Amino acid sequence: MAIAVVGSIGLDTIETPAGRVTEVLGGSAAYFALSARYFLPVSVVAVVGQDFPAEARATLQQAGLDLSGLEVSEGKTFRWEGVYSDDMNTRKTLRTELNVFERFKPKLPRETRALKTVFLANIDPVLQGDVLDQLEKPQLVLADTMNYWIQSKRAELLGILRRVRMLIINEEEAREITGEAVTHKAARAILSLGPETVVVKQGEHGAFLQGRDEYFSCPAYPIGTVVDPTGAGDTFAGGFVGALARMGRVNDRNLRRAVVYGCVLASFTVEGFGVTGLLRASREAILDRAEGIASMSRFDLSDTARILR
Amino acid sequence: MAIAVVGSIGLDTIETPAGRVTEVLGGSAAYFALSARYFLPVSVVAVVGQDFPAEARATLQQAGLDLSGLEVSEGKTFRWEGVYSDDMNTRKTLRTELNVFERFKPKLPRETRALKTVFLANIDPVLQGDVLDQLEKPQLVLADTMNYWIQSKRAELLGILRRVRMLIINEEEAREITGEAVTHKAARAILSLGPETVVVKQGEHGAFLQGRDEYFSCPAYPIGTVVDPTGAGDTFAGGFVGALARMGRVNDRNLRRAVVYGCVLASFTVEGFGVTGLLRASREAILDRAEGIASMSRFDLSDTARILR
């Protein structure tokens, strides 16, 4: 029982009010895998260039990830550079160099094709479709996407939505896919496009899960000293998918708990630059923060039936 | 046992993607009072002009509010006009006419001075101080404020913070008062300015409560068809203060439940233009939505101790 992720691995240059780092390990597949591996073994399908630093590879290897699907291609590794606003709720991309990622054609190793749980991170929906075609017995396939694909490859993306079980996206993307201005209406509209469940990431506000007859809202674990929000969304997805696959059965009870673990894992990522915060998460701290979210969202309404005049 | 609110009553012209209304009853004291009165009697201290429409006054009267502190002054009633963005998360003020509100000097009727629970809605902190001076035995005094006063009357506002028990504000205001970029850090910093509890309103994301040893996060009740968000924050405050005063004892259990009722009441306001949605809230619907928030935020972590590898 393992999880496959197909996405990007790159070198990020990040500036936040807390400081700046240059060409550190990043990419959706890296954050997802380093998060999900707390729950289950993870196979990474991605591409890097010949310049991919040995330390970055060592970080992935020491985390116990299966890198047999990590292709090393002629050329340079994907690079991204961005700067965050003072409140870190918005960011500006200064530079995107696709490099080897531009010609990426995901090829799943034989063992990875047999995996039942697969996360299609934010890549071209055409490539997401190629991955789906390679899967032998998909049971729990989840996808992410972004504004760029919603605008430029809408038809292909809608085709993917019909083929995946769950979609994990952020609020703006939910609204953009559906054209619904109100997020909750947008989430429900996505259910008519294919997925049985949609999980909407709300950044510092947590996340909510919308199913046909299910709605669950989970607060973010409050972090006083946010250092770098990069990768928090992919980390959330890793925690959500990892916990859900580990629990085995997909039902409302487990879906809710998976959202909680997604929020917990994301809280570690924002505490350090790049993947450093996520790497520092201990078993004890993860369980502690899950209990923390439970106690910070708990209340009882007993004796309030006569609270109204 | 009743509640006093000191704030604005005005005529709002509002445009949202759902439509437009002209010169409808609005103002912080109106929303607060029409919300809190579901829990306890409310005395309104505010000023209107001689042109204040009979229907608007009738709306307040039929809701059972004590209007003995509603001064009718020579001149025109306060007017505000604004237009909301497509997702209704931001709005632009097109026009603010203070009119009689410009010379407002709150004078509390004798019986109102004796009330123990008082909400100082968003008005000049100098006037908030005048009200505090008139109170004979204040026990639960809460205040709101806005960017304008944070910038223009900072010293006076800090003086108010030292005199009130709780502050109810939104995320941007929490950050602006403290200069902290991260909302949760800002909320904790506010506690060192005087209030023992701060409640931070997060719009469509709900609200959280921060005390010295307490943190509670409550999701918004999800509304698919938002018509007009005007007054949702003051409605939240009315539900929070009303429920808390009704329950009597200020402890963590009751504070949490009060936040839930604040979110519930706010959900009615956004469903109609002006105060129409709030007026339509029935006892059954209020209790139903409180249970709704309970069921949408509930989860259990039992059997997850071995969820990690």
CA distance B272 to B270: 6
Radius of gyration of chain A (CA): 19
Question: How many distinct structural domains can be found in chain A?
Answer: 1
Element spanning A32, H or E: helix A28-36
Closest residue, chain B, to A296 (C-alpha) = B216
Residue B224 has pLDDT above 90, yes or no: no
- With H, G, I as helix, E, B as strand and everything else as coil, classify residue B215: strand
The reply to whether residue A182 touches residue B38, judged by beta carbons under 8 angstroms, is no
In a domain, A68, yes or no: yes
In a domain, A253, yes or no: yes
**Residue B300 zone, left/alpha/beta (φ > 0; ψ -120 to 50; rest):** beta
ipTM, interface predicted TM-score of the complex: 0.93
Compute CA B32 distance to the chain's CA centroid, rounded to the nearest angstrom. Answer: 5
In a domain, A235, yes or no: yes
In a domain, B247, yes or no: yes
The reply to whether residue A224 touches residue B182, judged by beta carbons under 8 angstroms, is yes
In a domain, B108, yes or no: yes
> Closest approach of chain B CAs to the CA of A130, in angstroms?
31
**Residue B278, token pair as written in the block:** 């709030």
Q: Which of B184, B291, B299 to mutate to test the interface with A (most CBs of A within 10 A)?
A: B299
Contact assessment for residue B235 and residue B274, using Cβ atoms and an 8 Å cutoff = no
CB contacts of B211 in chain A (<8 Å) are none
CA distances from B255 to A55, A188, B198 (A): 50, 32, 11
CA distance B181 to A82: 18
Structural domain harbouring A280:
3-296
**Residue A184, token pair as written in the block:** 């909750």
CB contacts of B256 in chain A (<8 Å) are 298-299
Residue A262 has pLDDT above 90, yes or no: yes
Name the pLDDT band for B89 (thresholds 50, 70, 90).
Answer: confident
What whole-number percentage of chain A has pLDDT above 90? Answer: 95
In a domain, B307, yes or no: no
**pLDDT of A70-94, one tens digit each?**
999 999 999 999 999 988 888 999 9
- According to the model, what pLDDT value does residue A88 have? 87
CB contacts of A183 in chain B (<8 Å) are 87, 204
Handedness of CA B57, B58, B59, B65 (dihedral sign): positive
- According to the model, what pLDDT value does residue B3 have? 98
In a domain, A238, yes or no: yes
Contact assessment for residue A306 and residue B39, using Cβ atoms and an 8 Å cutoff = no
- With H, G, I as helix, E, B as strand and everything else as coil, classify residue A191: helix
Radius of gyration of chain B (CA): 19
The reply to whether residue B260 touches residue A215, judged by beta carbons under 8 angstroms, is no
In a domain, B113, yes or no: yes
User: How would you class A114 by CB atoms within 10 Å of its CB: exposed for 0-12, middle for 13-18, buried for 19 or more?
Assistant: middle
CATH of the domain at A292: 3.40.1190.20
**Residue A233, token pair as written in the block:** 């969304």
Longest dimension (CA), chain B: 73
**pLDDT of B268-301, one tens digit each?**
999 999 999 999 999 999 999 999 999 999 999 9
Q: Which of B66, B42, B35 is nearest to B279 (CA)?
A: B35
DSSP assignment letter at A220: P
Q: What are phi and psi of A251, to 5 degrees?
A: -140, 175
